[in-house]
């Protein structure tokens, strides 16, 4: 029985190790996705909006992205990001029409979720 117990212990240790590897890989993938979202917002939105978890927006009436969840669920932006952002920007002629691909949308939403107040 000791050999059987040793085999089981080794198998359990291997499974636990594999589980940590998978979790670590998922966390790394999420971190990369969040960083990609930040880069997209930095390139497309930061000239007017505060995109970080601190700081004021460069344009006074442009809301800081960290406050978006106060208005609506961040996930609700997915459709607008796909179809083209102009909702809420009618009074801002300098606002370009922006649309993103599905992987970009996932990254943007992941980043926005990461900066919302808990």
Q: Structural domains in the chain?
A: 33-115 (1.10.760.10)
pLDDT of residue 115: 97
CB 56 within 8 A of CB 45: no
pLDDT at 89 over 60: no
pTM of the model: 0.72
The Cα–Cα gap between 75 and 93 comes to 26
pLDDT band at 52 (very low <50, low <70, confident <90, very high): very high
Per-residue tokens: 23? 């979790």
């Amino acid at each position: 029985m000791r050999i059987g117990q040793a085999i089981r212990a080794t198998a359990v240790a291997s499974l636990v190790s594999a589980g940590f590897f998978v979790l670590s890989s998922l966390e790394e993938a999420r971190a990369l996705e969040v960083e990609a979202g930040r880069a997209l917002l930095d390139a497309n939105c930061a000239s007017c909006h505060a995109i970080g978890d601190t700081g004021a927006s460069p344009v006074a009436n442009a809301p800081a992205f960290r406050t978006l969840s106060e208005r609506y669920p961040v996930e609700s932006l997915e459709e607008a990001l796909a179809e083209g952002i102009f909702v809420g920007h009618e009074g801002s002629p300098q606002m370009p029409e922006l649309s993103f691909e599905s992987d970009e949308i996932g990254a943007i939403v992941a980043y926005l979720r990461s900066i919302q107040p808990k």
